[in-house]
Amino acid sequence: MTALWVMVAGPYGTRATPEQRAENLKLMNAAALEVWKKGHVPVIGVNNALPIIEIAGDDHYETVMMPLSLALAERCDAVLRIGGTSSGADKEAALIRARGGRVFSSLDEVPHA
pLDDT above 80 for 34: yes
Q: Is the pLDDT of residue 98 over 80?
A: yes
Torsions phi, psi for 84 (to 5 deg): -95, -150
CATH class of 5-109: alpha beta
Read off the pTM. Answer: 0.94
Going from N- to C-terminal start, the domains of the chain cover 5-109
> Judging by beta carbons within 10 Å of its beta carbon (0-12, 13-18, 19+), is residue 42 exposed, middle or buried?
buried
43-96: per-residue pLDDT in tens?
999 999 999 999 999 899 999 999 999 999 999 999 999 999 999 999 999 999
